[in-house]
Chain A
Amino acid sequence: MARMKFICDSQRCIECNGCVTACKNENEVPWGVNRRRVVTLNDGIPGEKSISVACMHCSDAPCMAVCPVQCFYRTDEGVVLHDKDVCIGCGYCSYACPFGAPQFPSQGTFGVRGKMDKCTFCAGGPEANGSEAEFEKYGRNRLAEGKLPICAEMCSTKALLAGDGDVLADILRNRVVQRGTGAEVWGWGTAYGTKAGGKDAGAKS
């Protein structure tokens, strides 16, 4: 069984924001909501690094643990999705998420925050695959179309990788062997590390 994951190779990210633009366009994400964004670490200092951040679809997702209405669920592929019909917009997931993934549109009911919106790994939601309702609430369901998330497929330098975790780890290992550096993967340990250690061997969170 494939276990879907994201990896962002900070050695390759050139902060072009192509992933952000592709995501917004593909899923018709509303104004004020960014399912994915590029963050620069040590900005302005020589050796600065950029990484593309979105929901990492954690193995032990804290958002799922804190949701009071249990709107989250995990698919067989390991993708963490949520049901907008169940979400009450409380924002607990936003506080729990180590990646700042949950987003809230500003035009919610009664002027408060609306239903939570986040990266779906381009896997839609609980509505029928490819339906208009699914697209309006969650965006495209590219996984059901036999494709990978648009952010990763669009990435010009292939810094952002998405897909089966084993294949991704193999790709990164190959790169590290070739270039001799850059084995640290930001967020990998936090998202997919063991419960006990919180980190994978050789990973940097």
Chain B
Amino acid sequence: MNKLAVVLFTVLLLGACGEKPQSAGGSNRDTPPYMGTGVAAFTEPGSKVGDKTSWELALRARTQFGQNEFSRGQ
């Protein structure tokens, strides 16, 4: 009985050593961009809503071919 009390006391005591999360910034409640806007008129033609890989590849291609004239010239 005494042993159990010591164990319980120790667990309670060590519980106070726990830390609250200290990361900066609030929680991200945002919808990911690859989910699209639902407004077809403004969305890039050919976009696949909800497909993260496709969105990333499309944006990567847009970055490369839209801004790198060296690769555009080749």
Contacts and interface: CB of A to CB of B under 8 A. Distances in A.
Interface of A: 1-2, 61, 64-65, 67, 69-77, 81, 83, 86, 123-126, 128-130, 140-141, 143-148, 152-153, 158, 161-164, 167-168, 170-171, 174-175, 178
Interface residues of B, number: 34
A126 B30 contact: yes
19 contacts: A61-B25, A73-B26, A73-B28, A75-B32, A76-B32, A124-B30, A126-B30, A144-B33, A145-B39, A145-B44, A146-B47, A146-B62, A147-B62, A153-B66, A158-B69, A164-B60, A167-B60, A168-B67, A174-B68
A171 B69 CA distance: 9
Contacts of A73: 25-30
A201 B71 CA distance: 25
Contact of B37 (A67, A130, A163, A164): A130
A75 B30 contact: yes
Contacts of B13: none
A70 B25 contact: yes
User: Which 3 A-B residue pairings sit nearest by Cβ, starting from the closest?
Assistant: A130-B37, A163-B63, A146-B44
Contact of A72 (B25, B55, B63): B25
